[in-house]
């Protein structure tokens, strides 16, 4: 049975969600376009300072009146489990909403995005009663305890590439730990976050603990981060925007920030690999998933020189089999670029990289489709110099740069980027090297004989250097939403 659907039949609403209610007020109207065909879906209203203040104060009232922060953690867990059940029960509705209004194909949203979102909520629900403290050794007349407390109000700002999953990764652990959340989704993909918040209230979350404000980063996002009642900020997006968020977070008094930012993730193939067939599959998936619009995209292939041509040929063949098409059409396997602006940016970066001496092996142009949306050919480049923009900046599109090396030490050195350190992968048949080489690569995650986040919720994600700091998912993802307090009792 086909999973295709008509996107024009969807009930799409782009209101803010404050204290459990839809709010249509705000400032300037911002049009929202479907990436697949650039058809208008509707508009959002830029929340700005007034609506942001209303949402944050609603969160403050909800925290005080509901007792959520001090509630029995088993009660918080029960609410989150009901929330996950509702997300799963509305799987088709959420998957279609996500596909029609983002770059995610319907086959992916049905089989992965919604299911993994519900799974992540359940994962953090089970952690709610496992936020533990410690008793520190003292003399007999004293007792010292270290306890965990929620921050209070968390400002969450999400990227456009995996809207539903990004929203869950930031909201579920924060709520499980006893916080309230005010979430600003990307203005390019604003819809699923609002529906997610409504389902949370339907599941029994006290109204006001999960609010959604729509709008632009420079106005609504900045106002949210700068709000004096916000105690913690978490953001996923570009490195440049991350730097601005850090400045905003310091404007009204320092507050902790978790940032997952850009990457130029290497895929390092070692000399000992015997069969390049499986490697080619992982390499292709690593740079083509969501058309390369993934922070951890494996955009740099580092391969022994004598085997480079063979691997490039294999990867190019797999890339050529990708089928462009609208995200609501079953069988589409090459995602559209999220916007015309982003497509033009890819073209500009590519032109500058080629002008600096790089060569196109395959691709390099837009795909001609029956839709008005921008789709880019899978592109493989050679001779991308380290002084070119193609090395320094992420394309955030389906572009792979190939770097042949002559010995293993050179290959490892090439894997370490001077700026970014989000993720990497190493392909090897040698069990010893499978453990030794990843330790020499500076990256928050190193996959071995695969590339890309694997199923499961216990492994944290986050980068170093210009790729950000702090972790999401796993126990570390939960810990980022609590602060530790020392209690010293002198009773002698």
Q: How far apart are CA 450 and CA 353, in angstroms?
A: 28
Q: How far apart are CA 238 and CA 338, in angstroms?
A: 15
**Of 491, 475, 387, the residue nearest 123 (C-alpha):** 475
Distances (CA, A) of 4 to 38, 111, 375: 18, 14, 19
480: enclosing H helix or E strand: none
CA angle 191, 195, 197 (to 5 degrees): 120
Annotated active-site residue 260? The verdict is: yes
Q: At a CB cut-off of 8 Å and minimum separation 6, what does 408 contact? A: 270, 271
Which residues share a beta bridge with 40? 33
Distances (CA, A) of 407 to 302, 334, 410, 429: 11, 35, 5, 17
Cβ contact 46:214 at 8 Å: yes
Residue 444 — φ and ψ, nearest 5°?
-70, -30
Of 98, 198, 260, 479, the catalytic one is 260
Cβ contact 438:424 at 8 Å: yes
Cβ contact 386:406 at 8 Å: no
Residues in the chain: 492
Q: How far apart are CA 202 and CA 1, in angstroms?
A: 31
Residue 347 — φ and ψ, nearest 5°?
-60, -40
Active site residues: 260
């Amino acid at each position: 049975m086909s999973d295709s659907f008509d996107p024009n039949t969807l009930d799409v609403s782009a209101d803010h969600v404050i204290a459990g209610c839809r709010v249509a007020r705000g400032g300037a109207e911002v049009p929202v376009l479907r990436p697949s065909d650039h058809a208008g879906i509707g508009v959002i209203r830029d929340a700005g300072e007034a609506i942001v203040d209303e949402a944050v104060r609603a969160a403050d009232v909800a925290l005080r009146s509901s007792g959520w922060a001090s509630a029995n953690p088993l009660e918080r867990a029960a609410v989150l489990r009901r929330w996950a059940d509702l997300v799963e029960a509305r799987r088709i509705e959420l998957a279609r909403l996500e596909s029609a209004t983002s770059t995610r194909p319907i086959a992916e949203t049905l089989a992965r995005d919604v299911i993994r979102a519900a799974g992540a909520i359940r994962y953090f629900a089970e952690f709610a009663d496992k936020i533990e403290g410690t008793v520190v050794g003292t003399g007999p007349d004293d007792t010292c305890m270290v306890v965990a407390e929620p921050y209070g109000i968390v400002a969450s700002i999400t990227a456009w590439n995996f809207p539903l999953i990004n929203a869950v990764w930031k909201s579920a652990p924060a709520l499980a730990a006893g916080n309230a959340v005010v979430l600003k989704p990307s203005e390019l993909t604003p819809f699923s976050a609002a529906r997610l918040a409504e389902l949370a209230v339907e599941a029994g979350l006290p109204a006001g603990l999960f609010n959604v404000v729509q709008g632009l980063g420079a106005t609504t996002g900045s106002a949210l981060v700068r709000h004096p009642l916000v105690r913690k900020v978490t953001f996923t997006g570009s490195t440049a925007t991350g730097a601005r968020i850090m400045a905003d977070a310091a404007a009204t008094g320092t507050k902790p920030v978790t940032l997952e930012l850009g990457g130029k993730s290497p895929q390092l193939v070692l000399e000992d690999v015997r069969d390049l067939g499986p490697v080619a599959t992982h390499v292709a998936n690593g740079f083509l998933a969501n058309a390369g619009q993934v922070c951890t995209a494996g955009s740099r292939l580092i391969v022994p020189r004598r085997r480079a041509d063979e691997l490039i040929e294999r990867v190019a063949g797999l890339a050529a089999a990708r089928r462009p098409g609208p995200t609501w059409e079953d069988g589409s396997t090459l995602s559209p670029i999220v916007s015309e602006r982003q497509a033009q940016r890819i073209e500009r970066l590519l032109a500058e990289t080629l002008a600096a001496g790089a060569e196109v092996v395959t691709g390099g142009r837009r795909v001609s489709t029956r839709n008005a949306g921008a789709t880019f050919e899978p592109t493989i480049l050679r001779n991308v110099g380290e002084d070119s923009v193609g090395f320094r900046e992420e394309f955030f599109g389906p572009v792979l740069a190939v770097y042949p090396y002559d010995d293993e030490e050179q290959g490892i050195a090439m894997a370490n980027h001077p700026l970014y350190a989000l993720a990497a992968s190493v392909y090897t048949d040698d069990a010893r090297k499978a453990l030794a080489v990843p330790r020499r690569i500076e990256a928050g995650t190193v996959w071995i004989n695969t590339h890309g986040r694997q199923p499961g919720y216990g492994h944290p994600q986050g980068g170093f250097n210009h790729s950000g700091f702090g972790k999401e998912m796993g126990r570390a993802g939960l810990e980022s939403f609590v602060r530790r307090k020392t209690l010293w009792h002198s009773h002698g």
